[in-house]
A and B are shown apart, each in its own frame.
Chain A
């Protein structure tokens, strides 16, 4: 549980700080705040795969206990890394080709992927133990 809490505080929450600061900046400058614009370029996807990869990396070098569970959760986390990276690549590709994106879909998907991906990451860290 200690590992999970540490990762949530210093991994998940800290990684969201740039978005939080952007939000505060917009607020301070009395700019219109739109979450869609904040994360419409797939910023949350980057955070998602970095967090997932860090949780996956924690499994290496850990003890042999729960090795099958670690293998399974590690595999699941790696799938999330792959898919969020591919989704982000398609967004970048669309931006490069000057294709008009449906920002609502990107925002909804990014939020969902980020929130849900925390579950396997926490499981990865939980099976490492304290």
Chain B
């Protein structure tokens, strides 16, 4: 009887704690993810980053519009901009990581890369 009582309460407490932690992590992740998306677009569209790191291969005006409208980057935001400059993803990533105060996360990098790989597969062929 005592054993049942013990296991009943222990299981209840453990499962409840698990659920609470799960909800907390899920909410935290959701919040962090939404903030990250807003911040990334603003950063990538900032004129300072454009000037300093010379990133002409991304349409800053279109990204700025995406940031202002709080919408994800679409394919037409980057389409047709790689015909004169090779898009160097690694250079962009390291350049932005070096700059203090620039809010760069991996999410945008991969999102941009996915879009660019669809729109400009020849750039990533090598």
* Residue positions of A touching B, CB distance < 8 A: 69, 72-73, 76, 79-80, 83-84, 86-87, 90-91, 93-94, 99-102, 105-106, 108-109, 112-113, 116-117, 119-120, 123, 126
Contact = CB atoms under 8 A, between A and B. Distances in A.
Contacts of A100: 1
Contacts of A106: 4, 8
A113 B22 contact: no
Contacts, number: 74
B8 A87 contact: yes
A118 to B, nearest CB: 9
B89 interface: no
22 contacts: A69-B29, A76-B22, A79-B18, A83-B11, A83-B14, A84-B15, A86-B7, A87-B8, A87-B10, A90-B7, A91-B4, A93-B3, A94-B1, A99-B4, A102-B5, A105-B8, A108-B8, A113-B11, A117-B18, A117-B19, A119-B19, A120-B19
Given A69-B29, A76-B21, A83-B10, A113 B15 contact: yes
B12 interface: yes
Q: Tell me whether chain A's interface is mostly helix, strand or loop, or mixed.
A: helix
Given A113-B11, A117-B19, A72 B4 contact: no
Given A69-B29, A73-B22, A105-B4, 13 more contacts: A79-B14, A83-B10, A86-B7, A94-B4, A102-B4, A109-B8, A112-B16, A113-B12, A116-B18, A117-B15, A120-B18, A120-B19, A123-B26
Interface residues of B, number: 21
- Residue among B4, B12, B21 with the highest chain A CB neighbour number at 10 A: B4
Given A101-B1, A101-B4, A105-B5, A84 B21 contact: no
A119 to B, nearest CB: 4
Contact of A86 (B11, B23, B26): B11
A80 B4 contact: no
Contacts of B18: 76, 79-80, 116-117, 120
Contacts of B15: 80, 83-84, 112-113, 116-117
B102 to A, nearest CB: 24
B1 A116 contact: no
Nearest to A110: B8
A46 B82 CA distance: 58
